[in-house]
Amino acid sequence: MVSIAYRTADVDGLKVFYREAGAPGAPKLLLLHGFPSSSHMFRDLIPLLADRFHIVAPDLPGFGQSDGPKANTFDSIADTIERLTEIVGFDRFTVYVFDYGAPTGFRLAIRHPERITGIVSQNGNAYVEGLSDGWNPIRAYWQDPSPANREALRSMLTLDTTRWQYTHGVVDPAAVSPDGYTLDVHYLGRPGADDVQLDLFGDYKSNVALYPAFQAYFRTHKPRVLAVWGRNDPFFLPPGAEAFKRDLPDAQVRFFDTGHFALETHAADIAEAIRGVFG
């Protein structure tokens, strides 16, 4: 049995929830989830890696059990997670990034490259060729933040859409537990959560604007990178994974026959890949 602690930290006045496992003296691994999930998405992965790593998996501000961000922007979320790493003593760590966790983790990397010992990108994009046409409604809101375009995105906060994100591209949808997407929808229903998420849809353009800076970081600092990708992801395409090798020829890229939430079906395979590259 793996012992997992469920903690909260006061980060400049915000309550940030996080899961912690592993020995404090082990190599550090920071797990950053995406939309619309929480650290709950790592429930299967943590026990598979806790014997090798000291793991911290926070709920990003505005998600899960954490308070809302000070501002509904990715810069603000990264500010809070950066402070959390300092509070929990993560001075040097490998970062696992997924979906929204990618622009959060990559911001930490370009701010403090000396702190990053490696990157695991699980459908965590940093290249325009990784963005599918599924982003078109959100792109429309970037270009014209009108009330109509904002309201058009509200359908992405529903149970049906969240369930679809979990099951699309999965060989056997019955292999996907309903716990994850049901819990996500519960958190999306908190007062004010919809406005946080709609604002973040609009601010996602700031992440795309930073892609050249992220790529320059890869070329300059040459972190060890493992890209593990659900090849049937409707949002982040396989070319986004393959593009890491353009800036990092030694990057390891592995594809799995699943969708966006690859850990729901391939946690053991991804854990094995992480052990192989970072063990």
Number of domains in the chain: 1
Residue 177 lies in a domain: no
Q: Which residues of 174-205 are buried (b: 16+ CB within 10 A; e: fewer)?
A: eebeeebbebbbebbeeeebeebbbbbbbbbb
| Tens of pLDDT, residues 112-162 | 999 999 999 999 999 999 999 999 999 999 999 999 999 999 999 999 999
Report the 10 Å Cβ neighbour count for 156: 18
Residue 53 lies in a domain: yes
Write down the pLDDT at residue 160: 97
Write down the pLDDT at residue 2: 80
In 3-state terms, what secondary structure has residue 36?
A: coil
| Tens of pLDDT, residues 16-36 | 999 999 999 999 999 999 999
Write down the pLDDT at residue 1: 73
Cβ-contact 102, 233 below 8 angstroms? no
CA 40 centroid distance within chain: 12
Residue 140 lies in a domain: no
Confidence of residue 233 (pLDDT cuts 50, 70, 90): very high
Average pLDDT over residues 214-240: 98
260 part of the active site: yes
Sequence-distant (6+) residues with CB within 8 A of 60 are 32, 33, 38, 66, 77, 81, 100, 101, 104
Residue 131 is classified by DSSP as B
In 3-state terms, what secondary structure has residue 3?
A: coil
Tokens of 89: 């003593």
Residue 165 lies in a domain: no
Confidence of residue 211 (pLDDT cuts 50, 70, 90): very high
Residue 201 lies in a domain: no
**Percent of all residues in the chain with a pLDDT value above 90, rounded to a whole number:** 99
Residue 186 lies in a domain: no
Distance CA 260, CA 165 (A): 7
Residue 145 lies in a domain: no
Active-site residue among 33, 168, 260, 266? 260
Write down the pLDDT at residue 205: 97
Place of tokens 């983790």: 105
User: Model pTM?
Assistant: 0.97
Residue 190 lies in a domain: no
Write down the pLDDT at residue 125: 98
CATH number of residue 81's parent domain:
3.40.50.1820
DSSP, residue by residue, 213-263: HHHHHHHHH---EEEEEETT-SSB-HHHHHTHHHH-TT-EEEEESS-S-TH
Domain hosting residue 230, numbered range: 4-132+207-278
Average pLDDT over residues 39-55: 97
